[in-house]
């Protein structure tokens, strides 16, 4: 249950409302939102549902929810969320294209790629400074130096940046240097990290866990939203499958399912979803046709020299051609989500 508080509620009215909730055997957590302060009420709600809470002084609205996730649900908010990342808006029916290398390797490599993806039509630049790798002996990124290189590339090209954060201790450095922070598949259930990002207020790109259901994924988003940060974008990047023909099983049906469950924007990562450069363009085009709000693609100036994920990186010229295709598809697709200037 959600209780939207009247902005003019007095401390006495607020205390009386909380007493009423607790007397019914429930717990309430306060969180800010675009609609004012909310109380997220959990527990056995049968007693509260029988009470005329809407008439209680200081209460503006009461929303009974059927889902386990609250703030991310369409029951809470039917209007699509638009997340602002620098000058770029993600969501609301448009198409956001994100390109860049899997890992930031050097200043020259990043800047050359940044210029190329901008010329191709990208809206954001991606690049990994902290890299979660299966092997501890693999290249794990340049860390803070990589973040600073992303900041410099953004100043040079004007592209807002997105980079992965893996540890709550790195959040401050990430939000200081990049415009959007990414939570990778391995950290979707790193709840301490999600809470820290929620408190930062910074835009968050939340990737789906490799074995996560859609409900699991939305519950992870709830951790960020519950801290008062509405700037969450979901990213489908494939789940664990049984066929080794592709790196993961890219679940494009999730885009359509999420449209029926959440107001949050949804983008697709066909690079990690397939693991093979030749499969990225068709699946990127399919993602746009399915109604995704954006696509994130790995691009490297010379994939054969890439220090990570070389097999799935596109060359700049291939990314340019793909951007043209995706923009054309976006111009003719029929979206069920109205445009928003919010």
Q: What is the pLDDT of residue 336?
A: 47
Degrees to nearest 5, angle at CA 136 with 134 and 142: 100
Please say which residue of 63, 95, 114 terminates a domain. Answer: 63
On whether residue 78 sits in a domain, the answer given is: no
Q: What is the pLDDT of residue 31?
A: 81
Lowest mean pLDDT across 20-34, 171-185, 199-213, 252-266: 20-34
Same domain? For 325 and 249 the reply is yes
Same domain? For 135 and 17 the reply is no
C-alpha to C-alpha distance for 237 and 162, rounded to whole angstroms = 16
Q: What is the pLDDT of residue 340?
A: 40
The pLDDT-based confidence of 123 (bands split at 50, 70, 90) is very high
**What percentage of the chain exceeds 70 in pLDDT?**
96
- Structural domains counted in the chain: 2
Mean pLDDT confidence for 321-330 = 96
Mean pLDDT confidence for 202-211 = 97
On whether residue 71 sits in a domain, the answer given is: no
Same domain? For 34 and 90 the reply is no
On whether residue 74 sits in a domain, the answer given is: no
Same domain? For 37 and 155 the reply is no
Label the pairing between strands 2-5 and 38-43: antiparallel
Q: What are 163-182's pLDDT values in tens digits?
A: 999 999 999 999 999 999 99
Mean pLDDT confidence for 273-287 = 97
C-alpha to C-alpha distance for 53 and 50, rounded to whole angstroms = 9
Question: Domain containing 49 — which CATH number?
Answer: 3.30.70
Q: What is the pTM of this model?
A: 0.85
β-partners of residue 42 are 27
Same domain? For 211 and 321 the reply is yes
Is residue 313 within 8 A of residue 306, CB to CB? The reply is: yes
Same domain? For 51 and 92 the reply is no
Q: What is the pLDDT of residue 86?
A: 95
C-alpha to C-alpha distance for 292 and 285, rounded to whole angstroms = 10
Same domain? For 250 and 319 the reply is yes
The three-state DSSP-derived secondary structure of the chain is: CEEEECCCCCHHHHHHHHHHHHHCCEEEEEECCCCCCEEEEEECCHHHHCCCHHHCCCEEEEECCCCCCCCCECCCCCCCCCEEECCEEECCCCCEEEEECCECCCHHHHHHHHHHHHHHCCCEEECECCCCCCCCCCCCCCCHHHHHHHHHHHHHHCCCEEEECCCHHHHHHHHHHCCEEEECHHHCCCHHHHHHHHHHCCCEEEECCCCCCHHHHHHHHHHHHCCCCCCEEEEECCECCCCCCCCCECCCHHHHHHHCCECCCEEECHHHHHCCHHHHHHHHHHHHHCCCCEEEEEECCCHHHCCCCHHHCECHHHHHHHHHHHHHHHHHCCCCCCCCCC
On whether residue 77 sits in a domain, the answer given is: no
Residue with tokens 């620098």: 86
On whether residue 342 sits in a domain, the answer given is: no
The pLDDT-based confidence of 228 (bands split at 50, 70, 90) is confident
Q: What is the pLDDT of residue 54?
A: 84
Lowest mean pLDDT across 62-76, 154-168, 213-227: 62-76
Q: What are 52-71's pLDDT values in tens digits?
A: 888 889 998 887 776 778 88
Domain that holds residue 177: 83-332
Question: Domain containing 305 — which CATH number?
Answer: 3.20.20.70
Q: What is the pLDDT of residue 34?
A: 63
The pLDDT-based confidence of 334 (bands split at 50, 70, 90) is low
On whether residue 196 sits in a domain, the answer given is: yes
Helix axes 191-200, 214-225, angle to 10 degrees: 40
């Amino acid at each position: 249950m959600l209780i939207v508080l009247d902005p003019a509620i007095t401390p006495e009215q607020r205390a009386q409302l909380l007493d009423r909730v607790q007397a019914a055997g429930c717990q309430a957590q306060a969180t800010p939102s675009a609609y004012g302060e909310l109380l997220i009420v959990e527990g056995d709600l049968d007693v509260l549902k029988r009470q005329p809470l809407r008439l209680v002084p200081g209460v503006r609205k009461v929303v009974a929810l059927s889902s386990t996730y609250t703030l991310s649900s369409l029951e809470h908010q039917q209007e699509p969320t638009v997340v602002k990342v620098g000058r770029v808006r993600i969501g609301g029916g448009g198409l956001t294209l994100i390109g860049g290398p899997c890992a930031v390797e050097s200043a020259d490599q990043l800047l050359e790629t940044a210029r190329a993806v901008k010329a191709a039509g990208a809206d954001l630049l991606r690049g990994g400074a902290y890299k979660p790798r299966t092997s501890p002996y693999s290249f794990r990124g340049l860390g803070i130096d990589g973040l600073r290189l992303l900041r410099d590339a953004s100043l040079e090209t004007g592209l807002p940046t997105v980079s992965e954060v893996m540890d709550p201790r790195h959040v401050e450095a990430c939000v200081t240097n990049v415009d959007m922070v990414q939570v990778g598949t391995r950290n979707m259930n790193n709840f301490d990290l999600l809470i820290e990002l929620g408190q930062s207020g910074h835009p968050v790109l939340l990737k789906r866990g490799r074995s996560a259901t859609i409900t699991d994924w939305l519950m992870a988003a709830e951790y960020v939203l519950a801290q008062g940060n509405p700037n969450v974008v979901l990213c489908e990047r494939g789940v664990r499958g049984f066929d080794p023909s592709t790196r993961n099983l890219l679940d494009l049906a999730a885009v359509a399912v999420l449209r029926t469950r959440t107001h949050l924007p949804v983008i697709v990562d066909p690079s990690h979803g397939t693991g093979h450069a030749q499969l990225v363009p068709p699946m990127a085009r399919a993602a746009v046709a399915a109604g995704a709000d954006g696509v994130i693609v790995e691009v490297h100036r010379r994939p054969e020299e890439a220090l990570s994920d070389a097999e799935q990186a596109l060359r700049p010229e291939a990314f340019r051609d793909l951007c043209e295709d995706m923009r054309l598809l976006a111009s003719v697709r029929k979206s069920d989500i109205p445009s928003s200037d919010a």
